[in-house]
């Protein structure tokens, strides 16, 4: 049985296999062909952090696959009242077929997976956001940008940046991450990615100059400067990220065919300008839709691994 906790747990071949499956299911969905890949299966969706895209995409996805999703906020279950994660996992996993968790520390979801009898999917933690990266790369594939791919990530060295490091180091493309000095990616995650890059041929660059990162890139991506739980840091962060907005001038440094991605929600005028968000280069809504399809691919693939 496999879990989907980080991309570093997967090979290049497995990642591409899941995405190929996701594209197949997406094509079927577009043609109104709904196959019961997971008939009568139940997905427990545990939310310690709220979300729009994660809830809608997983709940819709499991339904379209023939199953049902159970929304469980920390206020609804004993986990929010102090029940140990291992006990919550041991009980819930005896009643459902799969679990998705959106929580704080990565250690929480790893503990849940350790005691779970069913596959566990990381819907987001403070350290990683692997399902988002699967949707992002699916969008890149659909835009035919896989060949000579150069991704420029501009902004906070957060869970999204960490998952970009995981993905690039596995698939072997060029990744440039530009962050302010005090907002760099975690060194142990970077070290792991650089070691993996030696095998895959990935080129990973860390800089504090966003223009240097974007120059000649084929994908430009960013994330909010102020994530959930950081609201009290907002004013300071806005000052610290001065010069890191992805605006029209920044995009002009990228390739003509470059696209812009953002995991959303976006704060227009902060990490990205209104003009870039609404431009023809922006593929943010295609990217958001692909959360649905990529996650369906992940769920079906995990189900296929149960007996292996």
- Residue 249 is among the residues annotated as catalytic for this protein: no
203 DSSP β-pair partners = 174
**Residue 109 host element (H or E):** helix 106-115
Nearest to 152 by CA among 169, 175, 130, 133: 175
- Residue 76 is among the residues annotated as catalytic for this protein: no
120 DSSP β-pair partners = 99
* Catalytic residue of the set 291, 293, 295, 303: 291
Provide the pairing of β-strand 150-154 with 120-124: unpaired
Decide if 299 contacts 98 (C-beta within 8 A). yes
* Catalytic residue of the set 3, 53, 55, 102: 102
Nearest to 139 by CA among 125, 149, 129: 149
Q: How far, in Å, CA of 258 to CA of 237, rounded? A: 27
Q: How far, in Å, CA of 144 to CA of 87, rounded? A: 45
* Catalytic residue of the set 53, 129, 162, 293: 129
- Residue 230 is among the residues annotated as catalytic for this protein: no
* Catalytic residue of the set 97, 156, 176, 263: 263
* Catalytic residue of the set 3, 132, 136, 303: 132
**Residue 123 host element (H or E):** strand 120-124
- Residue 263 is among the residues annotated as catalytic for this protein: yes
- Residue 291 is among the residues annotated as catalytic for this protein: yes
* Catalytic residue of the set 97, 223, 262, 303: 223
Decide if 11 contacts 289 (C-beta within 8 A). no
Sign of CA dihedral 179, 184, 185, 187: positive
- Residue 183, exposed/middle/buried by CB under 10 A (0-12, 13-18, 19+)? middle
Q: How far, in Å, CA of 220 to CA of 213, rounded? A: 9
Cα atoms in the 13 Å half-sphere on the side-chain side of 69: 22
- Residue 278 is among the residues annotated as catalytic for this protein: no
Decide if 266 contacts 277 (C-beta within 8 A). yes
Active-site residue list: 102, 129, 132, 223, 263, 291
């Amino acid at each position: 049985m496999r879990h989907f906790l980080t991309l570093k747990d997967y090979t290049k071949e497995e990642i591409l296999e899941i995405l190929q499956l996701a594209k197949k299911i997406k094509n079927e969905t577009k043609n109104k062909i709904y196959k019961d890949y997971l008939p009568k299966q139940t997905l427990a969706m545990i939310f310690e952090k709220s979300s729009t895209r994660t809830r809608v995409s997983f709940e819709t996805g499991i339904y379209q696959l023939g199953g049902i999703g159970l929304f469980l906020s920390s206020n609804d279950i004993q986990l929010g009242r102090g029940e140990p994660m291992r006990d919550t996992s041991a009980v819930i996993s005896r009643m459902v077929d799969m679990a998705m968790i959106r929580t704080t520390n990565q250690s929480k979801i790893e503990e849940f997976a350790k005691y779970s009898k069913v596959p566990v999917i990381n819907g987001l933690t403070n350290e990683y956001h692997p399902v988002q990266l699967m949707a992002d790369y699916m969008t890149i594939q659909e835009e035919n940008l896989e060949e000579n791919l150069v991704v420029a990530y501009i902004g906070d060295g957060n869970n999204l940046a960490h998952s970009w490091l995981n993905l690039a180091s596995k698939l072997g493309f060029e990744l440039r991450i530009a962050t302010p000095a005090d907002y760099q990616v975690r060194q142990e995650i970077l070290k792991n990615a650089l070691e993996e890059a030696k095998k895959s041929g990935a080129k990973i660059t860390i800089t504090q100059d966003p223009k240097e990162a974007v120059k000649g890139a084929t994908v430009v991506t960013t994330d909010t400067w102020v994530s959930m739980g950081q609201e009290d840091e907002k004013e300071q962060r806005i000052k610290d990220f001065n010069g890191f907005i992805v605006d029209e001038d920044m995009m002009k440094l990228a390739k003509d065919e470059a696209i812009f991605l953002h995991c959303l929600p976006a704060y227009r005028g902060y990490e990205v300008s209104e003009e870039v968000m609404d431009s023809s280069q922006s593929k943010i809504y295609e990217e958001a839709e692909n959360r649905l399809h990529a996650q369906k691919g992940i769920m079906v693939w995990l189900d296929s691994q149960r007996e292996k």
